[in-house]
Structure 1
């Protein structure tokens, strides 16, 4: 295996960690916007932007994993099927929570309600990320994928 090939293989585990950190950062920005939000139109627009951006990024990440990454992992490591199904189930649960957050943002719910939604997403997201990293980082260091990072891990 060439050095370039090894770099790309190692990069999938690095890319996953980077994407997870960017999503954590985006969540923190959305949470800060909620805590700073007031009755002004500017605060409402900022809140809509940050929450919508976070929801879109997290959903895109999970769609990429479900569509490209997880099938490639299962093809190379069939014994990980139950882990991948559990992670996919988490994606569905997080999608449901994101739908609740989006609905609350769309109806201009009070900041306290939005904070509760974000807290729920944060708890499930962090548990999911930690489990995913424990189960898959080592596999990602040897996984051969020719797809682009955006296709595999989402538009971050």
Structure 2
């Protein structure tokens, strides 16, 4: 399984570039929304793919993904233990991108960078120091506060 280094991504990389191959295959098969539902519910676990929609897991698939998608998934992986990757690199990247966006938006209202980080970091459940590190990593230091 390929690990993605979120710090070496370039601006032309897309979110789907960060997905593991197995998840990309599921996206092609059942779409991004349904795949991410599987990741949210079973990321990091093996999911016993049912033989039909009448089993416990089959009924869950129908309830969460809809009958059509459940049947496509069952037809393709019937009876297999399907490992669902947790996509941690993607989650961290998306969180970091949202954090940086929130800090920059706060700064655009006239708030100092220091205050923007102090207000935003707790919302994302991270420390002020980590927020500064993320800001620096994702902007290459380009968001320094204009002092004048």
Q: TM-score, normalised by structure 1?
A: 0.28
TM-score computed with the length of structure 2 as normaliser: 0.30
Query: Which structure has more RCO (C-alpha within 8 Å, separation ≥ 6)?
Result: 1
Greater share of strand: 2
Larger CA Rg, structure 1 vs 2: 2
Structure that is richer in helix per residue: 1
